[in-house]
């Protein structure tokens, strides 16, 4: 009898322990993906489009045998398993808040028909909850987590799988792919492997020097591949050596796993500040003026070139350089005094690599309300950050054409250049120095209220 392999965030055939476990039953596998309205409908068009592309790639790898079903997984996973006369459904564990609840509901529904839900592996090198302190509690700070994560270690990549793939019911077909105003990068397992190989060959050696320079092609841009499991982090880690650049890259993988662990421990932290004072007591701005400020930020019209370049890159590509993500997040929270949740939701709408754990906790780090948080009084200077990490101004000129006439680093300060505003670039919507002090004053008042 065949087993069902239910794909979710593991859209690949290689290094896939759950798929291997399904194939080990009798060599025949039903490869299933359920288009779940609970996840599909809230996703922005960018993530929807990328998912469709990734599913097409996986289907090609399966010679057209990917069984797509649309609707409630509780219904469709049970129906498919029963139609196949399967006694087991195989999955990689999902540690997200919704995914964990969904899997438990599917487990109970399958059990009512004598079918077992078998969990093998996860989307992480080390599953959330595995790395703990000596007393068994979770880490709240990244650095000791990273050291313990290294000590724990991880398994080598799983062996390739050989199986016969079958469809016991009619396929519902792909969901409709939204039209986007830009092209997405190639999706799928082969694209992920090729991108990783190219990065290793050309850019990894200089990663520690170039990763913070948004005008330079210095990062791996593997986030969307990791998001959908087109490549497993274990595959990447197996290729890393001990150079300084490789160590820095390994730490970036660990950040992703740390944030997944935090979300697993505190599922509410996807939308709730770990430091509750920032939700309960902090005087965030609201109303029409706040909405106007948010719109200026979201559309890249703040008058601060480095911020605007990042926000326009997001709208133009469905992606933003990580250094710039921190700067634009700081600007929203600490210059415009708007809650991090508004920015996190905007990112999840537009980012092709939008990952709930990394996004929510990256925002909380910048806002100063999360685990291992950057202190609230650490405020990124949008001009200083631009001059430091885009010293030639090339990044700004690439995404802000109104400033293309300004040479070098003058692109970061059009207010200091004769004719800086000649091509329609907006003036600054706030004064950074004044708003930085305002943010600090509000933080002091919040602390005093809880004293």
Active site residues: 252, 255, 284, 322, 340, 363
**Domain assignment present for 57:** yes
Clarify whether residues 321 and 202 are in a common domain: no
**Domain assignment present for 163:** no
For residues 23 and 120, the answer to whether their CB atoms sit within 8 Å is: no
Neighbours of 439 (CB within 10 A): 20
**Domain assignment present for 130:** yes
Clarify whether residues 256 and 335 are in a common domain: no
For residues 299 and 315, the answer to whether their CB atoms sit within 8 Å is: yes
Q: What is the pLDDT of residue 449?
A: 80
Q: Per-residue pLDDT tens for 288-297?
A: 999 999 999 9
Q: What is the pLDDT of residue 37?
A: 97
Clarify whether residues 54 and 106 are in a common domain: yes
Give the DSSP H or E segment for 69.
Answer: strand 67-70
Clarify whether residues 292 and 149 are in a common domain: no
The backbone region for 167, taken as left when phi is positive above 0, alpha when psi lies in -120 to 50, beta otherwise, is beta
Give the residue numbers spanning the domain of 248: 124-157+189-265
Clarify whether residues 221 and 360 are in a common domain: no
Please give the model's pTM, rounded to 2 decimal places: 0.95
Indicate which CATH number applies to the domain containing 337.
1.10.579.10
Clarify whether residues 294 and 440 are in a common domain: yes
Clarify whether residues 219 and 351 are in a common domain: no
**Domain assignment present for 12:** yes
d(CA 421, CA 74): 57
Indicate which CATH number applies to the domain containing 69.
3.40.50.620
Q: What is the pLDDT of residue 256?
A: 98
d(CA 373, CA 307): 21
Clarify whether residues 140 and 100 are in a common domain: no
Clarify whether residues 149 and 64 are in a common domain: no
For residues 260 and 357, the answer to whether their CB atoms sit within 8 Å is: yes
Q: What is the pLDDT of residue 49?
A: 98
Q: What is the pLDDT of residue 374?
A: 65
- For the record, the structure tokens of 108 come out as 């109970």
**Domain assignment present for 291:** yes
**Domain assignment present for 176:** no
Regions of the chain where pLDDT drops below 70? 373-374, 451
Helix runs in 167-304, H state only: 189-202, 207-210, 223-227, 233-238, 244-265, 277-280, 288-298
Clarify whether residues 344 and 404 are in a common domain: yes
**Domain assignment present for 245:** yes
d(CA 194, CA 338): 40
Tokens 């490789």 locate to 246
Q: Could you give the number of structural domains in the chain?
A: 3
Q: What is the pLDDT of residue 275?
A: 93
Clarify whether residues 349 and 425 are in a common domain: yes
Q: What is the pLDDT of residue 254?
A: 98
Clarify whether residues 93 and 197 are in a common domain: no
How would you label 113-137 residue by residue, b for 16+ Cβ within 10 Å and e otherwise?
eebebbbbbbbbbbbbebbeeeeee
**Domain assignment present for 357:** yes
Q: Per-residue pLDDT tens for 276-320?
A: 999 999 999 999 999 999 999 999 999 999 999 999 999 999 999
């Amino acid at each position: 009898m065949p087993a069902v392999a239910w794909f979710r965030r593991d859209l690949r055939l290689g290094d896939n322990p759950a798929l291997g476990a399904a194939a080990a039953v009798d060599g025949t596998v039903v490869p299933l993906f359920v288009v779940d309205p609970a996840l599909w409908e809230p996703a922005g068009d960018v993530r929807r489009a990328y998912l469709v592309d990734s599913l097409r790639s996986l289907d090609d790898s399966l010679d057209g045998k990917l069984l797509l079903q649309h609707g409630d997984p509780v219904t469709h996973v049970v129906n498919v398993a029963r139609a196949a006369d399967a006694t087991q459904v195989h999955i990689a564990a999902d540690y997200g808040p919704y995914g964990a609840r969904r899997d438990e509901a599917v487990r109970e529904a399958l059990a009512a028909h004598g079918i077992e839900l078998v969990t093998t592996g996860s989307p992480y090198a080390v599953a959330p909850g595995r790395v703990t302190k000596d007393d068994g509690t979770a880490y709240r700070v990244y650095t000791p987590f990273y050291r313990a994560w290294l000590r724990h270690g991880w398994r080598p990549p799983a062996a390739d799988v050989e199986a016969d793939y079958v469809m016991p019911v009619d396929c519902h077909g792909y969901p409709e792919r939204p039209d986007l105003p830009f092209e997405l990068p190639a999706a799928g397992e082969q694209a992920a492997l090729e991108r990783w190989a190219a990065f290793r060959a050309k850019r990894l050696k200089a990663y520690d020097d170039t990763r913070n320079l948004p005008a330079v092609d210095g990062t791996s841009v593997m986030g969307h591949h990791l998001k959908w499991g087109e490549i497993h982090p274990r595959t990447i880690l197996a290729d890393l050596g001990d150079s300084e650049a490789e160590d820095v890259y390994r730490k970036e993988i660990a950040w992703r796993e740390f944030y997944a662990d935090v979300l697993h421990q505190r599922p509410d932290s996807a939308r709730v500040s770990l430091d509750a004072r920032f939700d309960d007591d902090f005087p965030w701005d609201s109303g029409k003026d706040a909405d106007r400020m948010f719109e200026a930020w979201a559309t890249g019209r703040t008058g601060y070139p480095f911020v605007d370049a990042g926000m326009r890159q997001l709208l133009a590509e469905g992606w933003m350089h990580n250094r710039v993500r921190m700067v634009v997040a700081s600007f929203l929270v600490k210059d415009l005094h708007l809650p991090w949740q508004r920015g996190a939701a905007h990112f999840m709408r537009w980012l092709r690599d939008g990952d709930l754990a990394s996004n929510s906790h990256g925002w909380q780090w910048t806002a100063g309300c999360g685990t291992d948080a950057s202190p609230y009084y650490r405020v990124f200077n949008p001009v200083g950050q631009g001059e430091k990490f885009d010293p030639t101004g090339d990044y700004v000129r690439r995404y802000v054409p109104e400033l293309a006439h300004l040479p070098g680093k003058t692109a970061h300060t059009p207010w200091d250049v004769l004719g800086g505003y000649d091509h329609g670039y907006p003036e600054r919507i706030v004064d950074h120095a004044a708003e930085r002090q305002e943010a600090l004053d509000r933080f002091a008042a919040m602390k005093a209220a809880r004293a």
